Amino acid sequence: MTEIRSVLVANRGEIARRVFRTCRELGIRAIAVHTDVDAGALHVRDADVALRVPSYLDADAVLAAAKEAGADAIHPGYGFLSENASFAASVTGAGIAWIGPRPEVIEQMGRKDAARELAVAAGVPVVPSYDLADDPAGFAYPVLVKAAAGGGGKGMRVVRSPEELDAAVAAARREAAGAFGDDTMLVEKYVERGRHIEVQVLGDSHGNVVHLGTRECSVQRRHQKVLEEAPAPALDEGLRERIHSSAVALSASVGYENAGTIEYLLDTSTGEFYFLEMNTRLQVEHPVTEIHAGVDLVACQIAVAAGDPLPFDQAGVRFGRHAIEARIYAEDAFGGFLPQAGTATAVVWPAQARVDHALESGQVVSTSYDPMLGKVIVSGRDRESARRALVAALDDTAILGLTTNTGFLRVLAAGEEFAVPGGIDTAWLDRHDVPPPDPAPARAIAARLWLDAHATASGPFAADGFRMGGPAAPVVVEFEDGDVVLPGAGVSGVSAHTTPHHVELAHQGQRYLFRRPDASADHGAAAGDGTVLAPMPGTVLDVRVAVGDTVSEGDVLGVVEAMKMELALKAPYAGTVTAVGAATGQQVALGAELFAVQRDTEEGAA
């Protein structure tokens, strides 16, 4: 047995804060690491001790920090070094407990290619695959190119023809190398209509393995999850039990210890399920399982790392409430899910939900790290009550100063498609546009309230809402970056609270937030005049053209990367490049003019 009295979290943001929360409850000393960018971050202030490292991916620096702080154990969180077997081996070799599976199991199961072979040996069904060395003309398209290492939707591309394969593999390799330090690729059959089902497992060093039920994670964009829930709804109980048994059998076959997740793809057209991968770490969506199964997963992880047996067997797991999680991202969800950056001038989190976050008012959100800002988690006695609770919680969530997906999540959670249990498959968001909410009513009400708050209270010029000689004239309320036009009539049944940044109001049971228009919120890649703008703040990875070059419509002019997502900027039409405002390695702002193309005369005349 190992006595764990201090834990260093080799991560940042909300997951570091989440681990620290359990550490405090257990009386364990919490140790943080941080980069220069994160020196004043919330997770640093939450810790008992904080040490600087050059990068969260610098394994030597992180281990040195753990030694310096006298850490008994390291919790890797997720991402970064969490599935790095050599780092785990270095930690245990230094006499520090690793809060995760054994390094050799990480090597086996943390890689999709090796895990696939083990799944086959254990009798678990797997998705049909192809070898990259084979003739791509023989693949049954569409196929999915994906990184053998890591997860989180990084290094993945759907390919629909042989002609697209080389470019997709190259882009996926770059993403995988940047995110995981490994650019090995797999090619698998792409199931067009599939549900993403996963099982949380726990194992200990005494040979015990249990499952904590299923999760549904089918609501995804760019192969990255948006909404997650536990348990997975609308599953035949026989199918659910087969999935549970498969996950436990596979975990037991490798002697799995600590927390892990087995991910499956359920083909909705055939009812067959396939093993996708195993995540040898805690998942972003672990809170829904904690609520549904009534278990503190981080406490279990620490106990297992200390050598204790699991505190319960399978019969001791008591499933209860339905839980749903919404991931809040810094991204323009109504503009291609492109990453965003800026200063969060005002942040309001819902009081009636569990919120795992590391964002506060005044905080700068950069493109240095993943765009996830936090998670809003709710529960109910059944799925519908949980869904309604999520809608209410998102109504009470506001992040001002930069574009986020909060409004998108609210529309999605309230929509009729998500209301149907199991009604959304993994590619649904690729096929459907979620309509943005109409901001006009909230803006009008907010402007009225602003006007009332600043109107003359008495005297001959006091506003009384009455006008003779015709219809009420519009009232224009001027804001810093634009105007809001409001009819002169008053608004009844409204309560409000104002701050220098925004107006918060309630009207007819709905809550709204209105702020000065965000100049960065509506920009994208403009092509009407041949000018191609930066659709997101980020780094220029590649410039493929020079002034005077002739291009065809759709030719790639350059590539921009932000938050480990690549975006190719393409020529809007055939023509000649007349301007190049980008250089490889350059940091660019949202809306920066990067390229300009003059349309071919003949095409323009047509």
Indicate if the pLDDT at residue 71 is higher than 50.
yes
CA angle 114, 117, 122 (to 5 degrees): 125
Indicate if the pLDDT at residue 375 is higher than 90.
yes
Percent of the chain residues past pLDDT 70, beyond the cut: 83
Indicate if the pLDDT at residue 483 is higher than 80.
no
pLDDT number for residue 83? 92
User: Residue 449: which pLDDT band, with cuts at 50, 70 and 90?
Assistant: low
pLDDT number for residue 383? 98
Indicate if the pLDDT at residue 519 is higher than 60.
no
Indicate if the pLDDT at residue 72 is higher than 60.
yes
Indicate if the pLDDT at residue 518 is higher than 50.
no
pLDDT number for residue 301? 98
Indicate if the pLDDT at residue 189 is higher than 70.
yes
pLDDT number for residue 522? 31
Mean pLDDT of 181-190: 88
User: Residue 450: which pLDDT band, with cuts at 50, 70 and 90?
Assistant: low
Per-position b or e across 562-571, b if 16+ CB within 10 A of its CB: bbbbbbbbbb
pLDDT number for residue 136? 92
pLDDT number for residue 413? 96
What confidence tens digit (pLDDT) does each residue in 378-389 have? 999 999 999 999
- CA dihedral for 268, 271, 275, 280, sign (positive or negative): positive
Mean pLDDT of 146-165: 85
What confidence tens digit (pLDDT) does each residue in 542-576 have? 999 999 999 999 899 999 887 667 788 999 889 99
Kindly report the pTM of this predicted structure: 0.77
Arithmetic mean of pLDDT over the chain: 86
Q: Which residues pair with 505 in a beta bridge?
A: 496, 512
User: Residue 467: which pLDDT band, with cuts at 50, 70 and 90?
Assistant: very low
User: Residue 521: which pLDDT band, with cuts at 50, 70 and 90?
Assistant: very low
| CA dist., res. 536 & res. 338, Å (int) | 6
| CA dist., res. 425 & res. 515, Å (int) | 35
Mean pLDDT of 40-60: 97
Mean pLDDT of 510-515: 46
pLDDT number for residue 453? 61
Indicate if the pLDDT at residue 488 is higher than 90.
no
Comparison of pLDDT for 223 and 256, the residue scoring more: 256
Q: E-strand spans in 246-361?
A: 258-267, 273-279, 322-329, 331-332, 338-339, 342-344, 346-348, 354-357
Indicate if the pLDDT at residue 504 is higher than 60.
no
Q: How many residues does the chain have?
A: 606
What confidence tens digit (pLDDT) does each residue in 404-426 have? 999 999 999 999 999 999 999 99
| CA dist., res. 494 & res. 126, Å (int) | 56
Indicate if the pLDDT at residue 466 is higher than 50.
no
Mean pLDDT of 52-61: 96
Q: What is the CA radius of gyration of the chain?
A: 26
Q: Which residues pair with 98 in a beta bridge?
A: 74
User: Residue 61: which pLDDT band, with cuts at 50, 70 and 90?
Assistant: very high
pLDDT number for residue 152? 64
What confidence tens digit (pLDDT) does each residue in 215-253 have? 999 999 877 899 999 999 999 999 999 999 999 999 999
Residues 538, 588: contact at Cβ < 8 Å? yes
Per-position b or e across 550-560, b if 16+ CB within 10 A of its CB: ebeeebebbbb
